[in-house]
Amino acid sequence: MKYDICLNNKKYVVEIDGNKGRLLKKDLIEEKDDLDLDLPDFDFGTSHEKADRITAALPGTVLAIYVQPGQTVSKGQTLLVLESMKMENAVTSPINGIIGEVAVSVGSYVKKDQTLLFVNTAE
């Protein structure tokens, strides 16, 4: 997707693809009150369903990983199991998508909010 970003009187046109971004164009903006930028519509009420970064809700140890990069997953499918406070917690996919990077391994200790893996939206 392409986005127009205005920052410090400069307009940047950037393209975001999965977890990568690149600058396409940079322009100086003249001072005027009514900037006409091509802004995407964001639905902040459902942003969690479009998230592709899965993080640990609690600190704990990774007991099992059921997916690998490139694998297609469904919303609600168990991706991995995290043991926290002597309880096993299934971490599920919030979207239908494709597994990107798996950032942890079985047996590793994770902190709260640490990235576990990435799920990219299936298109």
CATH number at 59 reads: 2.40.50.100
Residue 58 inside a domain? The answer is yes
pLDDT, mean of residues 40-62: 66
Three-class secondary structure of residue 109 per DSSP: strand
Which among 112, 114, 71 has a CA at the least distance from the CA of 93? 71
* Residue type (1 letter), 50: K
- 32 pLDDT higher than 60: no
Residue 43 inside a domain? The answer is no
Which residues span the domain enclosing 59? 48-121
With cut-offs at 50, 70 and 90, classify the pLDDT of residue 84.
confident
C-alpha dihedral, 46 to 69 to 85 to 57, nearest 10°: -20
Residue 38 inside a domain? The answer is no
Give me the percent of the chain exceeding a pLDDT of 70: 80
With cut-offs at 50, 70 and 90, classify the pLDDT of residue 117.
very high
- Signed CA dihedral, 67, 114, 3, 48: sign only: positive
Residue 95 inside a domain? The answer is yes
- 21 pLDDT higher than 90: no
- Whole-structure pTM value: 0.57
Q: Which residues of 57-74 are buried (b: 16+ CB within 10 A; e: fewer)?
A: eeebebeebebeeeeebe
Q: Are residues 57 and 17 part of one domain?
A: no
22-26, 50-54, 58-62, 114-118, range with the lowest pLDDT: 50-54
Q: Are residues 53 and 13 part of one domain?
A: no
Any idea which residue has 């009187």 for tokens? 9
Residue 100 inside a domain? The answer is yes
* Residue type (1 letter), 76: G
Q: Are residues 57 and 20 part of one domain?
A: no
Residue 81 has a pLDDT of: 94
